[in-house]
Amino acid sequence: MNRIRKTYKDLAVFQGEPFFSEKLHVGRPNIGDESILLERLQDILQRRWLTNDGPYVREMEEEICKLTGVKHCIAVNNATLGLEIAARSLDLKGEVIVPSFTFIATAHALQWLGIKPVFCDVDPQTHNIDPAKVEALISEQTTGIVGVHLWGRPCDIQTLTEIARKHDLKLLFDAAHAFGCSFEGRMLGNFGDAEVYSFHATKFLNSFEGGAIVTNDEQVAEKARALRNFGYDCSDNIAFAGTNGKMSEISAAMGLTGLASMDDFINVNSRNYLTYVAELANVPGIHVIDYDAKERNNYQYIILEIDEQKCGLKRDDLMKILYSENVLARRYFHPGCHRAGPYASDESYSNLDLPETERLSACVLALPNGTAVSENEIKDICQIIRVCVNHAEEIRSKLNYVLA
């Protein structure tokens, strides 16, 4: 084991040896009871029903409905395709307003369908789409709004619903981060015309890869179900040009196993979150984002906002120092979508002014959480951060840079 970091000279960037012998990733999977998972796998093999609306997929859909109170759940093979199917189920076309500060999949799902994502700025406190900036973006071509409950914290659902109603727009929520979270006591998944969870391996609940479209609208659910299965409706007619969005049985087995351990995941995540908050409380320039304790939260994301002037180090340098200690912190979501890939090279986006998205994508850093990280490891991660901030001046001069 490497020595405790007491001064900057102990840091791996200067003395070479990482503090952690194994890499601590953001998003290491939460896995429930392995023996139950293995039993389910045996069941699947014995039944020889591997996919196509199998019993585990149906059971998972029912469990999600029970847990969230949503009427319809359509399990899919990932949330990106789930967003595409949901967008098609809602007849989205033309332009759709979406926050730029999100994972690129939110925008790509629209772009892939030939819908133009119209990027909106976010609220500096919540990091979610800023409803005050939405109306100015509505045009003749606008058909909908996609809100993202970033980090599992709910969007301003009420105002977005009012705007959508007033302008006759569809409202879809990307709830990729928000499984198990609530808004005013009601589980996320119940809002807008539909919502989409992700069950990717990095998410609070995982099914290896996977996701689910949830809605209280029967027609939307019927269409999504058909679109998930090549467009076949329940009477075996091909009603739509569908796709293959089906979840496999093995994924549902993993999802069900995780569902049974959800409370344990939340207990560990919230304990870890409180440890990070306590350990970093007095570190200048480092703010751990809050979760509303009155709501249900999954606490999967430990998100730092870094004020470079106050902590004395650039976010990216802090990240590099953590990397060299085998703490694989992530710059979620850098850059904002409008600065990435096809959107950055599309002239129609070149004059966008999204100051909060720019600020957050330059200052946010995600740290490891989940059942694969121990409380002691978190204390050690925070100690490394404290040493970095306490010795920022020496580190800057060693790394040879000045803050702008």
Ligand X SMILES: Cc1ncc(COP(=O)(O)O)c(C=O)c1O
Q: Which two tokens stand for residue 128?
A: 């979610």
Q: Which is nearer to ligand X, 148 or 392 (CB)?
A: 148
Give least dist CB 150 to ligand X, A. 7
Give least dist CB 303 to ligand X, A. 12
**CA dist., res. 347 & res. 116, Å (int):** 13
Q: What does the H/E/C string look like for the chain?
A: CCCCCCCHHHCHHHHCCCCCCCCEECCCCCCCCHHHHHHHHHHHHHHCCCCCCCHHHHHHHHHHHHHHCCCEEEEECCHHHHHHHHHHHCCCCCEEEEECCCCHHHHHHHHHCCCEEEEECECCCCCCECHHHCHHHCCCCEEEEEEECHHHCCCCHHHHHHHHHHCCCEEEEECCCCCCCEECCEECCCCCCEEEEECCCCCCCCCCCCEEEEECCHHHHHHHHHHHECCECCCCCECCCCCECECCHHHHHHHHHHHHCHHHHHHHHHHHHHHHHHHHCCCCCEEECCCCCCCCCCCCCEEEEECHHHHCCCHHHHHHHHHHCCEECECCCCCCHHHCHHHHCCHHHCCCCCHHHHHHHHHEEEECCCCCCCHHHHHHHHHHHHHHHHCHHHHHHHHCCCCC
Give least dist CB 360 to ligand X, A. 14
Closest CA to 82 of 270, 267, 229, 210: 210
Which of 170-178, 238-246, 299-307, 384-392 is the region at the interface with ligand X (rule: CB under 6 A)? 170-178
Per CB under 6 A, the list member of 30, 68, 100, 102 interacting with ligand X is: 102
Which of 59-67, 102-110, 187-195, 285-293 is the region at the interface with ligand X (rule: CB under 6 A)? 102-110
Q: Which is nearer to ligand X, 156 or 317 (CB)?
A: 156
Q: Does 103 bind ligand X (CB under 6 A)?
A: yes
Q: Which is nearer to ligand X, 80 or 297 (CB)?
A: 80
Give least dist CB 103 to ligand X, A. 3
Q: Does 176 bind ligand X (CB under 6 A)?
A: yes
Give least dist CB 78 to ligand X, A. 4
Q: Does 174 bind ligand X (CB under 6 A)?
A: yes
Give least dist CB 77 to ligand X, A. 8
**CA dist., res. 252 & res. 207, Å (int):** 6
Q: Does 148 bind ligand X (CB under 6 A)?
A: yes
Per CB under 6 A, the list member of 74, 105, 172, 227 interacting with ligand X is: 105
Q: Does 128 bind ligand X (CB under 6 A)?
A: no
Give least dist CB 151 to ligand X, A. 9
Q: How many residues bind ligand X (CB under 6 A)?
A: 14
Give least dist CB 16 to ligand X, A. 33
Q: Which is nearer to ligand X, 177 or 223 (CB)?
A: 177
**CA dist., res. 238 & res. 240, Å (int):** 6
Give least dist CB 176 to ligand X, A. 3
Q: Does 388 bind ligand X (CB under 6 A)?
A: no
Q: Does 211 bind ligand X (CB under 6 A)?
A: yes
Give least dist CB 257 to ligand X, A. 18
Site for ligand X in 70-99 (CB under 6 A): 78-80
Note whether 308 and 403 are within 8 A (CB).
yes
Q: Which is nearer to ligand X, 81 or 387 (CB)?
A: 81
Q: Which is nearer to ligand X, 78 or 324 (CB)?
A: 78
Per CB under 6 A, the list member of 30, 89, 100, 106 interacting with ligand X is: 106
Residues in touch with ligand X (CB under 6 A):
78-80, 102-103, 105-106, 148, 174, 176-177, 198, 200, 211
